[in-house]
């Protein structure tokens, strides 16, 4: 018996088609994410912001450390004296001095609070960097799946065009031999023209999606790898929405930033209250001087002096500036508290939405897989009915359209489940580059 390609099961045919159509230089999701991480402007901006915050924190800590300085001075004086009847006399005198001074703050609440605020600022920048990194992961994944979905759509449209072309040719042959009417031919021609328009739109959509992915990763002609068949979508763990929400409340970058914002606002209030408190500094200096004579004494002299002491500064009145500054910081503290509450509510809502989106997507995939099998059976039955004369040509065309539409919907639903799973991790604040590994393993090697 001669072996024909149409005798292969549909999943095997699809797998072979994907293997043959996959470009030799196709990149994995992990590879394109690595490229985007080194190219994306928003992520690089967040990294620079963290470096700036670290330097700013070091500046704030510097106020707690001692300071020292050296001052050197040198001068020359020329004294010319003329007395009537006497010759002119000139004298030159010089003075050299060097002073080393230093100061160590002993008690300054504002500086101590400022150092703490600097450390909190670094934590805020770290949370912003984490959010930027998660955003890069999601944008690359979205672009990756968009290209794959467009490729699948174009593939199915081309397959539908081939099937409709065969049906059109069959209708023309049957009309020529008188076994069918011109209506079958015109219906098939209309369907064929419609598929041609769909093919043009699908090609343009794929072109646009590829350009968007290239722009994101900074590489031309990005070629994502297709899903390996059969597809086994990962289960959702943990399978409890409340656990995801609780995790989000502890780790989401937006909540972390809001909590730090509240802590910084409270520190601002403490700093404002410190305007009423005294400060105490320890200071010291050592001076070395040399005089090469003077107008009063021609004798050279040297002098050494050392000074050490304490400076106590007690604020008495600042025109109510401190009191009004405290009022301002208390109002900003209330705002930060409200912002935290708003962030917690938004994150909880986003996490629940993403969780139920994953569940819904998984259900849609199962339903579409069953629908694909049913559509294939319906098409086979319709073709058989057409051959025996109980079905007409438009029935076959409609069954073909239903099958290919189901295939497109199923492919996109699978990508949506994978993407929504990553969105759930982003919503809970746990998304990391390592999470791309299990997703990447589902694609063709």
- Give the H or E element holding residue 415: helix 393-427
- Give the H or E element holding residue 284: strand 279-292
Task: Report which DSSP code applies to 431.
Answer: -
Tell me, yes or no, whether 445 lies in a domain. no
CA distances from 221 to 216, 218, 398 (A): 12, 10, 36
From start to end of 9-129, where are the E strands? 67-81, 89-107
Residue 290 pairs with which residues in a beta bridge? Answer: 96, 302
Tell me, yes or no, whether 41 lies in a domain. yes
Which of 314, 342, 376 is where one domain is finished? 314
Tell me, yes or no, whether 74 lies in a domain. yes
Separation CA 429–CA 253 (nearest Å): 6
pLDDT given for residue 86 in this prediction:
65
Whether residue 352 sits in one domain with residue 303:
no
Whether residue 200 sits in one domain with residue 72:
no
Coarse DSSP helix, strand, coil percentages of the chain, rounded to the nearest 5 percent: 65, 15, 20
User: pTM, whole model, 2 decimals?
Assistant: 0.82
Which of 286, 314, 342 is where one domain is finished? 314
Concatenated DSSP letters for 105-122? EEE-HHHHHHHHHHHHHH
Task: Report which DSSP code applies to 234.
Answer: P
Tell me, yes or no, whether 390 lies in a domain. yes
Whether residue 129 sits in one domain with residue 33:
yes
Whether residue 139 sits in one domain with residue 95:
no
pLDDT given for residue 92 in this prediction:
76
Supply the CATH number for residue 429's domain.
1.20.1600.10
Whether residue 169 sits in one domain with residue 98:
no
Whether residue 327 sits in one domain with residue 295:
no
Whether residue 420 sits in one domain with residue 272:
yes
Which of 314, 332, 360 is where one domain is finished? 314
Tell me, yes or no, whether 181 lies in a domain. yes
Tell me, yes or no, whether 239 lies in a domain. yes
Number of domains in the chain: 2
Question: Which phi and psi angles does 295 have, rounded to 5°?
Answer: -70, -20
Whether residue 168 sits in one domain with residue 189:
yes
Tell me, yes or no, whether 72 lies in a domain. yes
Separation CA 31–CA 217 (nearest Å): 10
pLDDT given for residue 373 in this prediction:
93
Question: Low-confidence residues of the chain, pLDDT below 70?
Answer: 1-24, 79-83, 85-89, 293-298
pLDDT given for residue 14 in this prediction:
44
pLDDT tens digits, one per residue of 70-99:
999 988 877 666 667 666 667 777 888 999
Supply the CATH number for residue 305's domain.
2.20.200
Report which of 225, 253, 174, 219 is spatially closest to residue 415, judged by C-alpha positions: 225
Strands 89-107 and 279-292, how do they pair? antiparallel
Whether residue 334 sits in one domain with residue 391:
yes
Q: The domain containing residue 96 runs over which residues? A: 67-107+278-314
Separation CA 111–CA 270 (nearest Å): 11
Distance of alpha carbon 385 from the chain centroid: 55
Whether residue 367 sits in one domain with residue 260:
yes
The half-sphere exposure of 310 on its side-chain side, counting CA atoms within 13 A, is 7
pLDDT given for residue 53 in this prediction:
96
pLDDT given for residue 9 in this prediction:
41
Whether residue 207 sits in one domain with residue 335:
yes
Whether residue 133 sits in one domain with residue 35:
yes
- Give the H or E element holding residue 237: none
Tell me, yes or no, whether 418 lies in a domain. yes
Separation CA 211–CA 217 (nearest Å): 10
Separation CA 126–CA 47 (nearest Å): 9
Distance of alpha carbon 305 from the chain centroid: 60
pLDDT tens digits, one per residue of 39-70:
999 999 999 999 999 999 999 999 999 999 99
Other beta carbons less than 10 A from residue 198's beta carbon: 19
Is 417:367 a contact under the CB 8 Å cutoff?
Answer: no
């Amino acid at each position: 018996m001669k072996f024909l390609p149409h005798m292969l099961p549909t999943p095997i045919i699809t797998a072979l088609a994907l293997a043959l159509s996959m470009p030799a230089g196709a990149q994995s999701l992990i590879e394109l994410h690595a490229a985007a991480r080194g190219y994306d402007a928003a992520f690089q901006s967040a990294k620079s912001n963290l470096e700036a915050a670290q330097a700013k924190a070091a500046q704030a800590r510097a106020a707690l450390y001692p300071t020292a300085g050296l001052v050197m001075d040198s001068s020359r004086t020329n004294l010319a004296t003329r007395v009537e009847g006497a010759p002119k006399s000139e004298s030159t005198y010089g003075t050299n001095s060097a002073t080393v001074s230093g100061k160590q703050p002993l008690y300054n609440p504002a500086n101590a609070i400022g150092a703490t605020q600097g450390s909190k600022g670094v934590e805020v920048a770290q949370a912003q960097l984490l959010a930027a990194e998660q955003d890069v992961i999601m944008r690359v994944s979205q672009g990756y799946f968009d290209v794959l979905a467009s490729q699948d759509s174009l593939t199915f449209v081309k397959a539908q065009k081939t099937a409709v072309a065969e049906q059109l040719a069959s209708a023309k042959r049957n009309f020529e031999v008188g076994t069918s009417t011109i209506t079958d031919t015109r219906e098939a021609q209309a369907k064929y023209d419609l598929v041609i328009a769909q093919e043009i739109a699908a090609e343009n959509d794929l072109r646009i999606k590829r350009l968007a992915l290239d722009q994101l990763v900074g590489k031309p002609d990005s070629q994502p790898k297709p899903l390996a068949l059969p597809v086994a979508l990962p289960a959702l763990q943990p399978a409890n929405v409340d656990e995801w929400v609780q995790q989000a409340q502890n780790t989401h970058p937006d909540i972390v930033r809001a909590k730090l914002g509240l802590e910084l606002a409270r520190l601002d209030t403490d700093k404002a209250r410190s305007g009423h408190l005294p400060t105490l500094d320890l200071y010291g200096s050592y001076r070395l001087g040399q005089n090469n004579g003077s107008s009063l004494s021609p004798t050279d002299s040297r002098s050494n002096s050392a000074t050490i002491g304490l400076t106590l500064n007690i604020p008495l009145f600042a025109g109510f500036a401190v009191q009004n500054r405290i009022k301002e910081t208390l109002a900003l503290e209330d705002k930060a508290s409200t912002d935290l509450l708003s962030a917690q509510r938004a994150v909880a809502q986003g996490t629940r939405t993403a969780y139920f989106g994953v569940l819904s997507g998984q259900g849609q995939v199962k339903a579409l897989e069953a629908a694909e099998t049913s559509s294939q059976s319906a098409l086979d039955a319709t073709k058989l009915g057409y051959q025996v004369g109980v079905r007409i040509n438009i029935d076959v065309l409609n069954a073909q359209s239903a099958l290919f539409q189901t295939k497109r919907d199923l492919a996109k639903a699978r990508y949506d489940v994978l993407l929504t799973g990553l969105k759930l991790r982003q919503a809970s604040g746990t998304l990391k580059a390592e999470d791309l590994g299990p997703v990447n393993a589902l694609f063709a090697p």
